[in-house]
Amino acid sequence: MQIPVRVLSAVAACLLTSGLPLGAMAAISPMSKRVVVAGAEPEATRGAMDVGQLAANAPMHVAVGLKLRNQAALEQLIANLYNPSSSQFGHYVTPGQFQQEFAPTAYEVEAVRDYLRQYGLQVQPAAGNNMVLDVKGTATQMERAFAVHEHKYQEGSRDFFASSQAATLPAPIAGYVSGVVGLDEEPMTGHLTVTKRSAAASGGYTPAQIQSAYDYKRLYSSWAGRGQTIAIVTSGSVNESDVDAFDSAFGLPNPIIRQRVIDGTSTAPNDETTLDCEWSHAIAPTASLAVYEAATPDAAAFIDAFDQVATDDGAHVVTTSWGAPESQTPSSTIDAEHNIFEEMAAQGQSVFAAAGDSGSGDGLAGTHVDYPSSDPYVTACGGTTLDINSNGVRVSETAWTDGGGGQSDLFGQPSWQYGPGVPSTGARQTADIALNANPATGYDFYYEGSWEIAGGTSFVAPEMAATFALIDQSRALKGKSPVGLADVGIYAMARNASYRNLAYHDITSGNNGAYTAGVGYDNPTGWGSIDAYYFVHGLNG
């Protein structure tokens, strides 16, 4: 039956008055063609046993990533921002400028939001840049909105929920969406191994020993991080009394810590969060810490947390010790986080991530890298085994057998990733840099009233973030902009033999399974560990 024009006009007028975009009206029409959302294939259910439908009223949280605009122009801008020959070199954009030029439009956001709200879902932007929509509701509401069936599954000892088919959206709405994260339960894991708990600090490396072994102490008379903020993206909170006890034991000043819960109201203390705070503070003692705490350790909450860090733009350095094998991370998750990391690069924010603690396979058969450390806009922090003598002097250092590192199956080789030893495979290589991570040569940290000795690349990422806080402080005192995308500087300095021999400890022995350390760059350790004194001076402009 043909609907009279006057009726259509009346409906359109009503929609315009109510603020609903006309595009949304077309999208929600029963006749609208539905298309599969990018990255929505239900990979998680392969090999798992279906044990029944998820309860209709089960609460669910989904992150809907929206597509960036002007992608080619954004990539060119970032290339110019890090090219010393460009007039745009170091002139980073603000969050407002990024939103105006590259983020989804208000119309696109409203079209997607209005569509989802029809199903009773609570929808709001995860942060102010309009790149991610935070969606909450019941399993039934999600099933109707995305035309899926949510089921419970078992695989080995793991119980999880997932969609039994690919999510779809009406074609006009799907055109704005880069991916949907959270229809499959997608846990993030930390990279930490605890080897000993005791009532007193003993046996693990102390801040003073690490500061001495990696030559930080000579920097502190000039730069210790004052005026800089380190953003820590994690799940779970930190008990600040634990940090106070750590500081008291090792003669460190108490830091300013600001905690912010993402997608919830409170979180329980977490050992990953605690060590990130204690050891970033140990390297940059006068920097402030901004802790972004995902209320749950799942991909959707982490996307929202990263998005908030980018929107706030209050920290020039960002660290996370959480991740998952790249091959097991849905493309919808990678697309959403990659867009956020791209914004951070444009804004001059440095991002560091643990490369993993399960060797060259990242806990799987074959060779695999860990995400987000494999993202080209993130610095992948690998691990070593460090031997220090009683005077705190570095005696020897080898690649840690369980350290992550390898070749990405998704990302091409960035333009800056070349130099002696870097494989010319056309693929992104990890790690980029490394520090001590072996639990056998682990660190002291204080958690929930007791001392622990632990290792893992979870320690390396916050330590490297803190190192760049020192660099950014030194640059700020010269009136220079922050380093931003750290790998550009890391690789440029490594290509200069004079700097390389001073700023890097080339790790030439050991392996992480499939990859062996050698002269120059290698996958287990990147360019090696650092001599912080020369490393900071080499990058402070």
User: How many percent of the chain have pLDDT more than 90?
Assistant: 78
Would the pLDDT of 350 be above 70? Answer: yes
The reported pLDDT for the residue numbered 25 is: 45
3-state SS string over 432-484? CEEEECCHHHCEEEEECCEEEEEECHHHHHHHHHHHHHHHHHHHHHCCCCCCC
Which candidate, 477, 481, 504, 478, places its Cα nearest to that of 493? Answer: 504
The reported pLDDT for the residue numbered 12 is: 36
Phi first, then psi: give them for residue 283, nearest 5 degrees. -90, -35
Q: Can you tell me the distance from the alpha carbon of 414 to that of 478, in angstroms, rounded to the nearest whole number?
A: 29
- Cβ neighbours for 227, distance < 8 A, ≥ 6 positions apart: 473, 476
The reported pLDDT for the residue numbered 23 is: 46
- Cβ neighbours for 34, distance < 8 A, ≥ 6 positions apart: 147, 168, 169, 170, 171, 174
The reported pLDDT for the residue numbered 163 is: 86
Q: Can you tell me the distance from the alpha carbon of 301 to that of 307, in angstroms, rounded to the nearest whole number?
A: 10
Answer yes or no: are the C-beta atoms of 231 and 314 closer than 8 Å: yes
Q: Per residue in 115-166, pLDDT tens?
A: 999 999 999 888 889 999 999 999 999 999 999 999 988 877 778 888 888 8
Would the pLDDT of 11 be above 60? Answer: no
Lowest mean pLDDT among 7-21, 195-209, 282-296: 7-21
The reported pLDDT for the residue numbered 17 is: 35
pTM of the model: 0.91
Report residue 192's pLDDT band, with 50, 70 and 90 as the boundaries.
low
By three-state DSSP, how is residue 357 classified? coil
Residue at 13: amino acid letter:
A
User: Which residues of 243-340 form beta strands (DSSP E)?
Assistant: 257-262, 288-294, 317-320, 322-325
Q: Per residue in 383-424, pLDDT tens?
A: 999 999 988 899 999 999 999 999 999 999 999 999 999 999
Q: Per residue in 50-92, pLDDT tens?
A: 888 999 999 999 999 999 999 999 999 999 999 999 999 999 9
Would the pLDDT of 381 be above 70? Answer: yes
- All structural domains of the chain with their residue ranges: 189-539
Q: What's the average model confidence in pLDDT over 333-345?
A: 96
Q: What's the average model confidence in pLDDT over 184-204?
A: 68
Q: Per residue in 473-518, pLDDT tens?
A: 999 999 999 999 999 999 999 999 999 999 999 999 999 999 999 9
Report residue 197's pLDDT band, with 50, 70 and 90 as the boundaries.
low
Cis status of the peptide bond prior to 372, with omega within 30 of 0: yes
Answer yes or no: are the C-beta atoms of 437 and 456 closer than 8 Å: yes
Domain 189-539 = CATH 3.30.565.10: no
Summary mean pLDDT of the chain: 90
Report residue 30's pLDDT band, with 50, 70 and 90 as the boundaries.
very low
Would the pLDDT of 14 be above 90? Answer: no
By three-state DSSP, how is residue 196 classified? strand
Report residue 13's pLDDT band, with 50, 70 and 90 as the boundaries.
very low
Q: Can you tell me the distance from the alpha carbon of 241 to that of 278, in angstroms, rounded to the nearest whole number?
A: 11
> What does the block give as tokens for 154?
């078992």
Q: What's the average model confidence in pLDDT over 33-42?
A: 79
User: How many percent of the chain have pLDDT more than 70?
Assistant: 89
Which candidate, 402, 489, 487, 491, places its Cα nearest to that of 441? Answer: 402
Report residue 175's pLDDT band, with 50, 70 and 90 as the boundaries.
very high
Q: Per residue in 460-477, pLDDT tens?
A: 999 999 999 999 999 999
